[in-house]
Amino acid sequence: MRAKAVMVLGTTSGAGKSWLATALCRYYARQGLKVAPFKAQNMSNNARVVAPTVAQDVWLPAPQGGRDSPWDGPAVNPVAPTVGLHAAQRQNISGGEIGSAQYFQALAANAIPEVRMNPLLLKPERDTHSQVILLGQVDEALTRMDWRGRSEKVWPVVSAALDALMAENEVVVIEGAGSPAEINLSASDIVNMRVAEHVQAQCLLVTDIDRGGAFAHLYGTWAMLPAAQRALIRGFVLNKFRGDAALLAPGPQMLQDLTGVPTVATLPMWWGHGLPEEDGVFDMTPTLGTGVSSLPPEGAVPGLGRPGAAAGFTQGGTVAVVVYPRISNLDEFQPLKNIPGVRLRWVRSAAELQGADWIILPGSKHTSGDLAWLRTQGLDRAIAAHAQKGGAVLGICGGLQMLGEALIDPHGIDGNAPGLGLLPLVTVFDADKTVLRTEARFGELSGPWAALSGVTVQGYEIHHGQTAQHPAMAAAGDVARAVLTGGEGGHGGQGRALAWQNAAGNVLGLYLHGLLEDPAALQALFGGEGAAQVPTLDSVFDGMADYIERHFEPGVLQSLIDPPA
C-alpha cells in the first residue's frame, strides 16, 4: 500500500490549516479509506498523551550514531532512520506526547492517535526556548541544540515516520506550519515543502481573508517558492470569508491568470464548528454556551444567572479561565463553550475576575514564571479574595502547583517560587516527566465540587512536578484531603493521589487534564440537560466534512487523491 498525500499549507499561522486538515481527515475517512494525519513539527503547548500502539509491515532501522545519538533507543524502532531492513511483523511504537491538533485529526480519521503522526513537538517555555519532544518523549540533547543544527538531526526520524504512515494507509493528510515561503528558514525546513516534495503531496494553500490582503498573501507565497514546489500547489482556499462572495470577482480569475492555480474553495466564516483552537485563546469576550456558536447570542447579558446547588451550574454561571503567558492545554475547556447558561471568560487582569463563579487556573509550561506574572497583574490577591469568600477555585496541573505553598526545583526544570497558599501542598520538580493516560476515581468531595464524589473519569497527565502534603502544615493541623486516586494506562486502582481539596471544600487542585471533557464529569457538574448540549466529537467532525463538501468546487477533493490521468 502506498498512500496518496494531501497537504494543507498556509500563507500565515492561524490561516486555518489545522481546521481544514481535520475536516479532510473526516471527509476521506467517510469514503471508506484508511486515513492518517501527519505534521512533522508542531510548536504548541496544547498536547495530548497517546498510548503505545503497534505497526505492521514497516521498515526497521539499525542503531544510529552510538550513545551520543539524539534518538538513541531500542535497537528495533519503526520510526527511526531507515537503512533497508524490512520486517513484515507487528512492532511496538511507544506512547507519549503529540500536538492536540494531530490528536483530533487522528480521531477525525477514525485512526488511533500515535507519536508518528507528530514526530517532533516543540513546547515553548520562554520566548527563546522550547522543550523538544521527539517521538513522544522529551529529548534533552535536542532541547539544547541549535535550531538549524537540530533540523538535519531529526529529518531522518521525521521522514521515516512519514514513510511508515504512507506505507500503512491509503490517504495521509499532512499539515504544514506557518508559511512555506519563509525564505530565512527554507534551508532548514522539515515541515513544509521538504515534506511535500518527499511524498509528492497534492497541496492546498489556505489564507485568512478576514485579515485582508488575501490575494497578495496567496500570490506572494506562491511566487517565493521554486518552480518544482509551485507545481505541487493544486488549489487556493479563501478561509473565514464574510460577505457576498460575488464581490470577490474578478480576483480569483486574475490570480489564476498569474499563477495557473485555481481558487477551489471560499469558506464562509464559521464561529461554532466545535473544534478546539490549536493555539491562543478562543476569544477574549465573554462567551455564553449555546451549543452552536462561540459568540454570545444577541441580548445576552454577561454575568446573568448564578449557579444552583453545589452540584454545578444548574441555573447558569460564569467561569473565568486565567490566561497566563505560558498557558497550556487550554483546548480542554472547549466543552464549556457549549453548555447552556455557562459564560466562559478568558481573563488577564484582576478586574476581569469580577462576578466569576468559578476561577480556573489551567496548565502552564512554566509554572514559576506564570506565578510571577500573576503577582505582577495583581491576580494573586484577587484569586485569594475570591477563595476567602467561598468562591470556587479549580487548579489543573500547573494550576494545582500554583495553589500550593511552594515550588521546589532541585534540577533546574522550572524554577523555585512561593505558591498562592490556597492548598497546604508542596511541589518538587522531578527530572523525569510524567506522561500518562490515566483513569481515576473521585472520593468524597464537599462544597461546589460535591457532585464529583464517586465519579470515575479518564484523562491524561503531563507534568514534571510531584506534589504532596506540606509536612509542617500537616503537623499544625492544616491538611489537604486527597480526593482523587488512580493509576496508569486507563486501568486505575494504583492508589496515586491526583487531586486535593482544602478543608472548606471550595478549592480543588488536580493533575488530571481532561476533566471538563469527560462525559461523566460533565454530567455530574452540569446535569444531564447541560451535558447533553456538548456536541460529540464525531458530530463535530462530520459537520466539518459536510462543510467543506458544500463549499469546495465539485470534484476537487476527489481529484487530490485520484491517480494522474
545: its cell numbers: 466534512
Virtual torsion, Cα 31, 245, 537, 330, nearest 10 deg: 140
72 phi and psi, to 5 degrees?
Answer: -55, 145
Is the bond preceding 340 in cis, omega lying within 30 degrees of 0? no
Q: Which of 366, 386, 513, 551 is catalytic?
A: 513
Q: Which of 236, 163, 169 is nearest to 204 (CA)?
A: 236
- H/E segment holding residue 33: none
Residue type at position 408:
I
Q: Which of 203, 366, 397, 463 is catalytic?
A: 397
SS3 label, residue 248: helix
The total of other beta-carbon atoms located within 10 Å of residue 450's CB is 16
DSSP string, 391-438: -EEEEETHHHHHHSSEEE-TTSSS--EE---SSSEEEEEEEEEEEEEE
What would you report as the CA-atom Rg of the chain, rounded to the nearest whole angstrom? 24
CA distance linking residue 419 with residue 561, whole number of Å: 54
Give the single-character DSSP code of 355. Answer: T
CA distance linking residue 358 with residue 319, whole number of Å: 5
549: its cell numbers: 463538501
Q: Which of 165, 61, 158, 155 is nearest to 113 (CA)?
A: 165
200: its cell numbers: 509528492
Active site residue 366: no
Query: How many residues comprise the chain?
Result: 565
Cα 98–chain centre separation: 8
Active site residue 513: yes
CA distance linking residue 43 with residue 383, whole number of Å: 30
CA distance linking residue 35 with residue 105, whole number of Å: 10
CA distance linking residue 488 with residue 435, whole number of Å: 10
* Helix spans in 111-237 (H): 140-144, 147-168, 193-199, 214-224, 227-230
Cα 218–chain centre separation: 27
Q: Which of 482, 493, 483 is nearest to 451 (CA)?
A: 483
Virtual torsion, Cα 544, 548, 550, 554, nearest 10 deg: -150
CA distance linking residue 81 with residue 354, whole number of Å: 54
Query: Are the C-beta atoms of residues 406 and 427 closer than 8 Å to each other?
Result: yes
SS3 label, residue 93: strand
CA distance linking residue 423 with residue 510, whole number of Å: 11
* Active site residue ranges: 397, 513
